[in-house]
Amino acid sequence: MERAGEDDDTGSGSRRRSRSMSMGGSDATSTMSGGGTTAVKQHQALRLVEDLSLPSVQVVVMSANMGCSHCRQRVTKVVTKMNGKDPTDISF
Dump pLDDT digits (tens) for 24-42. Answer: 444 444 444 455 566 666 6
What's the half-sphere exposure (Cβ side, CA atoms, 13 Å) at 3? 4
* CA–CA separation, 17 and 70 (whole Å): 59
Residues contacting residue 30 through CB under 8 Å, at least 6 positions apart: 38
Q: What pLDDT is recorded for position 23?
A: 44
- pLDDT for 8 beyond 50: no
Structure pTM?
0.31
- pLDDT for 72 beyond 80: yes
Q: What pLDDT is recorded for position 87?
A: 60
Question: For 59-68, what is the mean pLDDT?
Answer: 81
